[in-house]
Structure 1
């Protein structure tokens, strides 16, 4: 099985995870579609959203598949005045990842990571492994520890 950069990094640090693969449908890369394909609850699948603040600094925010990001809450958690999503055309150049395959692990540059507090209620969460068709399941605590991440609420 082909390991993504994110999976290799976790394996190297001996962080336990489960690797999931699925067949990609390029017409639908939504969290809902991925959850259905993997037969996982939507609130267990966490999507990674890359945001930019007013100082052109970047961060990854992870929220469960059934939620939409609250940009005001994200900015507040980040200590920023304003936050906006990174335009799709800039995403790959900035992170090394394409839409539907963005992971908070193994990006070109390490950005701050914020995980929605709803993940505290989950034994494990499933996140992108950095490539469409690949997901990593791990504990929220291991994700935060590995990425030096923070909890946030909205």
Structure 2
């Protein structure tokens, strides 16, 4: 299936990073990450979601965690040396990142925000994240995602 290049794909192309595109048909209503993994025919443990959090001063931080897990808010705050973080209001997501809910990629945001990827990604052969648009996922190597986002890899999921 031919698809229009997203900002995330253009940035990966520019950096000469290999990636694979997986597309799926959107369904009515909210789709969780487990359903996305099923629709693209991939192991749920390889599929990661991108969460954008902010501190009280509205500084933004990006966290990439498995779709089957939940972000540990205390651990997330700790790794970025903040006392407290909260999810950024969805109404501000497109303005701040350039992406919408369900299509928020850690690659190609309007600004390069401090990014942390859950350490479980280091156990995976590949990592799958949003391609920057609903219905598009990109498959790439963890080290390439780290390179593109200047990310740190830390333990940030709830136990």
TM-score, normalised with respect to structure 2: 0.93
Q: Secondary structure, in 3 states, of the residue corresponding to 1:130?
A: strand
Give the aligned partner of residue 8 of structure 1: 10
Contact 1:54 1:80 in 2 (8 A): no
CA RMSD, aligned part only?
Answer: 1.0
Q: Give how far 1:26 is off.
A: 4.0
In 2, Cα distance between the equivalents of 1:24 and 1:3? Answer: 18
In 1, Cα distance between the equivalents of 2:95 and 2:31? Answer: 19
Post-superposition Cα deviations, 1:76-96, rounded to whole Å, max 9, x if no partner, equal 011111111011111111111
What 5-or-longer segments of structure 2 have no aligned partner? none
1:133 equivalenced with 2:135 (yes/no): yes
TM-score, normalised with respect to structure 1: 0.96
In 2, Cα distance between the equivalents of 1:138 and 1:26? Answer: 28
Alignment length (residue pairs): 154
Q: Secondary structure, in 3 states, of the residue corresponding to 1:16?
A: coil
Q: Give how far 1:6 is off.
A: 0.2
Q: Secondary structure, in 3 states, of the residue corresponding to 2:42?
A: coil
In 2, Cα distance between the equivalents of 1:40 and 1:136? Answer: 11
What 5-or-longer segments of structure 1 have no aligned partner? none
Q: Give how far 1:55 is off.
A: 2.8
Give the aligned partner of residue 109 of structure 1: 111
In 2, Cα distance between the equivalents of 1:21 and 1:121? Answer: 24
In 1, Cα distance between the equivalents of 2:18 and 2:86? Answer: 33
